[in-house]
């Protein structure tokens, strides 16, 4: 089902910077559709981190930043903290199925481990 | 504090039905489109469907279209997911989520989620 590809895992020491990639195609990110990012600790409610490729909702630390280029997007976490250990998902819209008017797609997910 | 709380999950046999509920609080429920998203064990997130703020329109993922129905009761701030003809592959944690606008847009995002409720389809 996932049409957005992310690395299964990334890791870093406290204080370091890590980046998570999200690779799509010409029917989603490459078509110009916005990318969003969510943080999910298993057993809790997922949380919106980034919308509109690079915008942070109120309350999200500026350690989190998003960018997009071509058919890919990235989430960067700087000054890594223990509380950042979680699963991260990108999300976009995909227009490949003409029978659907709405087709939100998520990435495969990336587990961030703080060493 | 804005909150969404899902309920109604459980173990159900293949082919049977189940209805999930999602209780909203501390925001104007009737102003926003609402979504369901699921996560199968060990898998990523999968968008299930969306309903407009007034309940007039719904859209579904191809994997559930014709079997699942989303509805809402704005007088009670409740969202529902009626699941019929359940299959083993429907086993997942189901999350309700608030959209950022009255229905959906290609740039729309989900800015409030619940903690989810587990549905297990097994004989």
* pLDDT one-digit tens code per residue, B64-82: 999 999 999 999 999 999 9
Going from the C-alpha of B53 to that of each of A20, A82, B100, the distances in angstroms are 34, 38, 11
Instruction: For residue B57, list chain A residues with Cβ-Cβ distance below 8 A.
Output: none
- Alpha-carbon distance B6 to B24, whole Å? 9
Do residues B28 and B103 touch, judged by C-beta distance below 8 A? no
- Give the least confident one: A39-43, A99-103, B15-19, B51-55: A99-103
Who contacts B123 (Cβ-Cβ below 8 Å, separation ≥6)? B13, B14
Instruction: Specify the pLDDT at position B41.
Output: 94
Q: Which residues, including other chains, have CB under 8 Å from residue A92's CB and lie 6 or more apart?
A: A4, A24, A28, A29, A33, A34, A35, A36, A73, A104, A105
Q: Give residues with Cβ within 8 angstroms of B102, minimum separation 6.
A: B31, B32, B33, B52, B53, B54
Closest Cα in chain B, distance from residue A68 (Å) = 14
Q: Tell me whether A69 touches chain B (CB under 8 Å).
A: no
The pLDDT of residue A102: 62
Task: Record the tokens describing residue A1, joined without a space.
Answer: 């089902």
B49 pLDDT more than 90:
yes
A68 in contact with chain B, both atoms CB, cutoff 8 A: no
- Using the Cβ of A109 and the Cβ atoms of chain B, whether some distance falls under 8 Å is answered with yes
Please state the φ and ψ torsions of residue A10, each to the nearest 5 degrees.
-140, 155
Q: Is B71 left (phi over 0), alpha (psi -120 to 50) or beta?
A: beta
- Identify the pLDDT of residue B39: 95
Low-confidence ranges of chain A (pLDDT < 70): 1, 98-102
With a CB-CB cutoff of 8 Å, which residues 39-68 of chain B face chain A? 44-47, 50, 59, 61-63
Contact B44 A106 (CB under 8 A): yes
Cβ contacts of B43 within 8 Å, gap of 6 or more: B92
Judge contact between B35 and B50, C-beta under 8 A.
yes
Q: Is A73 exposed, middle or buried (0-12, 13-18, 19+ CB in 10 A)?
A: buried
* Rounded (to 5) percent helix, strand, coil in chain A: 5, 45, 50
pLDDT at position A99, please?
65
**Interface probe with B: pick from A27, A53, A104, most Cβ of B within 10 Å:** A104
């Amino acid at each position: 089902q996932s049409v957005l590809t992310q690395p299964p895992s990334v890791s870093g020491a406290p204080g370091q910077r890590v980046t998570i990639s999200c690779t799509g195609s010409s029917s989603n990110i490459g078509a110009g559709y916005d990318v969003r990012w969510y943080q999910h600790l298993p057993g809790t409610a997922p949380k919106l981190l980034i919308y509109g490729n690079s915008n942070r909702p109120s309350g999200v630390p500026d350690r989190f930043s998003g960018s997009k280029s071509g058919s890919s997007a990235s989430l960067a976490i700087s000054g890594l903290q223990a509380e950042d250990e979680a699963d991260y998902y990108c999300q976009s819209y995909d227009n490949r199925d003409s029978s659907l008017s709405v087709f939100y797609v998520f990435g495969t997910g990336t587990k961030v481990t703080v060493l | 504090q804005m909150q969404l709380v899902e309920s109604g999950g459980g173990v159900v046999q293949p082919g049977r039905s189940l209805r999930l509920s999602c209780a909203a609080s501390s925001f104007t429920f009737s102003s926003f489109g609402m979504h369901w998203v699921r996560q199968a064990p060990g898998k990523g997130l999968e968008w299930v469907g969306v309903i407009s703020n007034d309940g007039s329109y719904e859209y579904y993922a191809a994997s559930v279209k014709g079997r699942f129905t989303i509805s809402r009761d704005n007088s009670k701030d409740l969202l529902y997911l009626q699941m019929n003809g359940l299959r083993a592959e429907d086993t997942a944690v189901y999350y309700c989520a608030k959209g950022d606008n009255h229905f959906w847009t290609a740039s729309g995002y989900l800015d409030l989620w619940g903690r989810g409720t587990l549905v297990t389809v097994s004989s």
